[in-house]
């Protein structure tokens, strides 16, 4: 979504962006009146296998444009840009993409040990090296395709090998970002992109939420993400049970049909997806999986997070949210989640509200458009 926000801003300045993505994202291009192209091959999975034919299929599209903006989910686009020496900008909303040994992230599979040894710099650096080794093995397809096409990758195929020599953008709030690596491929942190596409609006669901919120104490929002979004039932049942133990009302946001036969009651509202800018307003807290978007919207809404991470960058996001006083990270059990709901009062609400105001002033899409216009003559 952040790149869509940047494309929207560029279009408002008179440029002609083309959105290239998975087929189901066509509606986003329609919202903005932009041209749309379907990316070849599988995407949406950061470790989906890259094939040489995908890269070759992208060449006509890349050859027809002046500048390419690409995110970490499309490494084939980076390889195609390198192959024809097209200028590209690498942009991500996920801080972990720009992992640095100066502030080693907490990785899936290693986060539990890293958390136990949080103050041991040797353990954190060892975890950093191990995680990069594993990620390199998982990304051998990128290295093999690059080699087959005669492309030299300047570093790790999942990290530095995808960075652009022209510009690299982190489209996330500095409030939720780590220290960034410096050097020839400097990273520019430009802020949160709070764009909500019109196609995501749901007036009926919004009215149901407003009615539910108005009938009692502020609810807890249960918003599974990442792997939990595909199978939300265990996440929702756990969070709902802990809320009931406290006598708290809850609102669940999950895909239609995924929660059939869930024990309903007057203390629970189940909604289809609603933009978090709407869903989080007036809530007591949000229980979510730790995606950077969920954390950003929760902080922007001035409410604390309870984070239950499971995949990819969620563990590292949870670490930073806890360290900065924006939320809690309990174990995935009813007892620990009960305690976390109880301990929310220990968080400094003044800090969350103060930083909510600061984050509310951020406009990463406008900052990115300004940056690109200043950096690249094709956008002046």
Strand partners, 288: 223, 307
Residue pair 116/195 in contact (Cβ under 8 Å)? The answer is: no
pLDDT number for residue 319? 93
Q: What is the pTM of this model?
A: 0.90
CATH H-level, domain 2-194+362-379: superfamily = Glycogen Phosphorylase B; (3.40.50.2000)
Q: What is the spatial distance between Cα 77 and Cα 5, in angstroms, rounded to a whole number? A: 19
DSSP 157: T
Q: Provide the token pair at 10.
A: 């560029």
The CA radius of gyration of the chain, in Å to the nearest whole number, is: 21
Nearest one of 6, 3, 367, 373 to 189, comparing CA atoms: 367
- Secondary structure class of 323 (helix, strand, coil): helix
Under CATH, which architecture does the 202-360 domain have?
A: 3-Layer(aba) Sandwich (3.40)
pLDDT number for residue 231? 84
Residue pair 337/280 in contact (Cβ under 8 Å)? The answer is: no
Domains 2-194+362-379 and 202-360 fall in the same CATH topology:
yes
- Secondary structure class of 29 (helix, strand, coil): helix
pLDDT number for residue 185? 63
Extract the residue ranges of the chain whose pLDDT is less than 50.
Answer: none
pLDDT number for residue 195? 80
Which pLDDT tens digit goes with each residue over 171-195? 999 999 877 766 556 888 999 998 8
For 61-110, the DSSP string reads HHHT-S-EEE-TT-HHHHHHHHHHT--EEEEES-GGGG-BTTBPPP-TTT
CB atoms within 10 A of CB 109: 11
Write down the domain spans for the chain.
2-194+362-379, 202-360
């Amino acid at each position: 979504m952040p790149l869509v926000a940047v494309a929207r801003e560029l279009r408002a300045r008179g440029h002609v962006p083309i959105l290239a993505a998975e087929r189901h994202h066509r509606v986003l291009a329609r919202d903005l009146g932009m041209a749309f192209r379907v990316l070849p091959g599988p995407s949406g999975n950061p470790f989906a296998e890259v094939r040489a034919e995908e890269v070759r299929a992208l060449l006509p599209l890349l050859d027809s444009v002046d500048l390419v903006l690409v995110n970490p989910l499309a490494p084939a686009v980076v390889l195609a840009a390198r192959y024809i020496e097209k200028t590209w900008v690498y942009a991500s909303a996920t801080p972990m993409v720009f992992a640095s040994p100066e502030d080693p992230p907490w990785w899936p599979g290693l986060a539990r040990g890293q958390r136990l040894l949080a103050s041991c710099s040797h353990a954190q650096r060892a975890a950093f090296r191990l995680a990069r080794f594993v990620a390199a093995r998982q990304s051998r397809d990128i290295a093999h395709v690059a080699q087959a096409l005669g492309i030299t990758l300047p570093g790790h195929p999942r990290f530095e090998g995808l960075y652009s020599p022209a510009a690299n953008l982190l489209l996330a709030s500095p409030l939720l970002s780590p220290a960034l690596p410096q050097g020839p491929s400097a990273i520019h942190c430009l802020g949160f992109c709070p764009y909500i596409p019109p196609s995501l609006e749901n007036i009926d669901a919004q009215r149901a939420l407003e009615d539910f919120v108005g009938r009692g104490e502020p609810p807890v929002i249960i918003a599974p993400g990442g792997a939990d979004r595909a199978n939300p039932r265990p996440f929702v049942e756990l969070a709902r049970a802990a809320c009931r133990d406290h006598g708290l009302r809850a609102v669940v946001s999950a895909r239609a049909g995924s929660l059939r036969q869930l024990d309903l009651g007057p203390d629970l509202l189940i909604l289809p997806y609603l933009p978090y800018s709407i869903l989080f307003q007036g809530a007591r807290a949000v229980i979510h999986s730790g995606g950077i978007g969920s954390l950003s919207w929760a902080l922007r809404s001035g409410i604390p997070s309870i984070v239950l991470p499971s995949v990819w960058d969620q563990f590292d996001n949870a670490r930073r949210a806890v360290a900065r006083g924006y939320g809690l990270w309990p174990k995935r059990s009813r007892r620990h989640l009960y305690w976390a709901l109880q301990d929310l009062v220990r968080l400094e609400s003044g800090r969350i509200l103060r930083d909510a105001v600061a984050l509310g002033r951020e406009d990463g899409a406008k900052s990115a458009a300004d940056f690109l216009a200043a950096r690249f003559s094709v956008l002046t």
